[in-house]
Chain A
Amino acid sequence: MSKLYTFLKYFFIVFWAVFVVAPFLWALTTSFKDFQSVNGGVTYIPWVDFEPNLEGWKVLIKSPARGGVDIVEPYFNSLFVTCTASFISIVLGTLSAYALSRYTFKAGLVKNNDITFFFISQRIMPPIVLSIPFFLFLSSINLLDSLVGLILVYIVLLMPIAVWIMVDFFNKVPREIDETALIDGCNPYQAFLKVVLPNSISGLIVAGMFCIIFGWIDFFFAFILTFTEVQLLPVKIVALNSSVTPWWSLSASALVSVAPLIIVAFIVERYLSKGNLSGAIK
């Protein structure tokens, strides 16, 4: 019985691992192919099935004029927008979360939980509902197709995540530590900055990771709100997916674009093992 269970368990784990890895392996081999080895039937193993070449990788750094894909600028745009929006969301979200966790608010029927829910409910909003008014709104203040406009939109996407994670986190940080700081003569801001924040590093890291993930993987807003001036990475890569798709450069650029966040997987796992994450997300 338990032998069978162990066997099934490993079987399932290995099966799923193969499923997870399969598209990456396929992209990796495809990125070394040329026109012939993509269109002449399915091939898998370099040197055996086809002769690998680096064309798919080389076009990534060439200028568009010489037939390159030029993902360098979109790459930095994506990094810049994601990091800026995440940073602003974390700062504002952490302040609000601290207020919601430590103080009581009451305005008529609206209480703390309702304010928290208001923040989190912004995630329910389908992007499409916001995209049309944002399109007209940003074009009326001349921020369409600009980095600032995108950052504004991303703050709406990311702040709910920051608030959601940090409220739960602050609820677990004992109140006594801020009370002690206040008795020792700090004002509330000093107590927050010098005592509470240093004790919340792991919560901040988890919230930051989630903001960066959800900022980095967004496609829809970038797709609708930018055209030519500013291009983000996902939009640029999807634009390659035209009628005559150069599979090799597509695969190479896809791999380059998903690479940075795989580091995030390691960081998340580290916090998971230490048990710090369990309180932060629930």
Chain B
Amino acid sequence: MNFKHKYFFLFPGLFVLIGILIFPIIFVVRLSLSGWNSYNPGLDFIGLDNYIRLFTDDPRFWESFFRLSFLSVTTVVLQYVIGFALAHMVWKDIKFKRFFRVLFLVPMMTTPVIMTVIWRTFFHESLGPVNDILSNFGFSPKWLTDPALAKLTVIIVEVWQWTPFMFLLLLAGLLSLPKEPFLAAAIDGASPVRKFIYVTFPLMAPISIGAIIIRLIEASKIMDTVYVLTSGGPGTSTETSSFYIFIKGLREFQMGYAASMSFTYLIIMIISLTIIAKVLTKLLLKE
């Protein structure tokens, strides 16, 4: 094929993306070396002071980072298990198959913040239906103001919102599997459980890895839900990295410091996602 034409296909997209991104990326790095805050808005140069402060004097950032890791890993594992279970159940013929498939996809199509506003009224401590039902049994949990329960509420909302995404990817994967291995298993008289462990699951491993990584990437950006549901509270018990950077940068206007946190956070994310991808590939593709 002709040599020159390929650039005409590739470059418009590539250059638009780079064109929009190049300034912000360079600017974040430069900003992170400055002391820009509300008293002193300007690009002065203070060397690595922001990074030194971040690594030696800011436990809140690291706490928020571990909280984020906990929340995203927990939600993604739950989404994977539930999503796989649901996909497996509506894969073969059941009653109202198409109805359930559409229904299970719906949460993904709804705007997370808007649904979170609804969830907030849903979990309201005195006026919400959850506590109304539980109060019949003598419980009235503080869904949004108890530190441990607030985390659980965030997890419930995230699982509701994004399990459909996992479900969609895994169901699409299941539907594209070849038929022969299942025939062979049926001829050998394998039980459903063994069929799942030795046939379905290994065949689904590559798709599973892809789905888990995509969801981890998206889950690490949890922000909307936390902002509307708890605003990081009570205290800092549901504060994630993004939310902390948001508070420092756009509430307290410590732009320079927020930029250094953003950059550090980005580097950590890229490294840890690469490692996770490698480890998962090793674990699931062993055979």
Identify the A interface with B (CB < 8 A).
Answer: 2, 5, 9-10, 12-13, 16-17, 19-23, 26-27, 30, 38-39, 41-42, 44, 92-93, 95-96, 98-100, 102-103, 105, 115, 119, 121-137, 152-153, 155-156, 159, 163, 182, 187-189, 192, 213, 216-217, 219-220, 224, 233-234, 237-238, 240-241, 245, 247, 250-251, 254, 257-258, 261-262, 264-266, 268-269, 272-273, 275, 277-282
Contact = CB atoms under 8 A, between A and B. Distances in A.
Given A122-B17, A122-B21, A241 B228 contact: yes
Contacts of A27: 118
Most buried by B among A16, A26, A39, A234: A16
B9 A16 contact: no
A-B interface, 4 closest residue pairs, ranked by CB to CB distance from nearest: A278-B176, A96-B13, A99-B9, A133-B24
24 contacts: A20-B107, A23-B119, A23-B122, A42-B127, A42-B131, A95-B9, A96-B10, A99-B6, A102-B1, A102-B6, A119-B13, A126-B269, A130-B21, A132-B258, A137-B27, A155-B20, A163-B13, A187-B5, A234-B114, A254-B117, A258-B115, A265-B102, A269-B102, A272-B172
Contacts of A137: 23-24, 27
A128 B111 contact: no
B183 interface: no
Contacts of A44: 129
Contacts of B258: 132
Contacts of B207: 282
A188 B121 contact: no
Given A115-B10, A155-B20, A269-B105, A128 B168 contact: no
Most buried by A among B7, B16, B132: B16
B232 interface: no
Nearest to A273: B98
B33 interface: no
A225 to B, nearest CB: 11
B13 A26 contact: no
A258 B109 contact: yes
Nearest to A131: B250
A269 B259 CA distance: 42
A216 B6 contact: no
B273 A124 contact: yes
Contacts of B250: 131-132, 135, 224
Contact of A119 (B17, B131, B249, B263): B17
B109 A264 contact: yes
Contact of A213 (B108, B206, B210): B108
Interface of B: 1-2, 5-10, 12-14, 16-17, 20-21, 23-25, 27-28, 31, 82, 85-86, 89-90, 94, 98, 100-115, 117-122, 127-129, 131-132, 160, 168-169, 171-173, 175-176, 192, 206-207, 210, 217-218, 220-221, 223-224, 228, 241-242, 245-246, 249-250, 255, 258-259, 262-263, 265-266, 269-270, 273
A95 B6 CA distance: 10
B112 A217 contact: yes
A268 B108 CA distance: 11
Contacts of A250: 117-118, 121
B125 to A, nearest CB: 11
Secondary structure of the A contact surface, majority rule:
helix
Secondary structure of the B contact surface, majority rule:
helix
Contacts of B89: 9, 12-13
Contacts of A269: 98, 101-102, 105
A124 B270 contact: yes
Given A19-B160, A132-B255, A137-B23, A156 B17 contact: yes
Given A96-B14, A134-B24, A237-B114, A275 B109 contact: no
Most buried by B among A156, A240, A268: A268
B192 A5 contact: yes
B129 to A, nearest CB: 6
Contacts of B14: 96, 115, 119
Given A17-B104, A103-B9, 8 more contacts: A12-B86, A23-B122, A105-B10, A123-B217, A125-B266, A128-B262, A133-B28, A281-B168
A110 to B, nearest CB: 11
Contacts of A135: 250
A134 B250 CA distance: 12
A159 B17 contact: yes
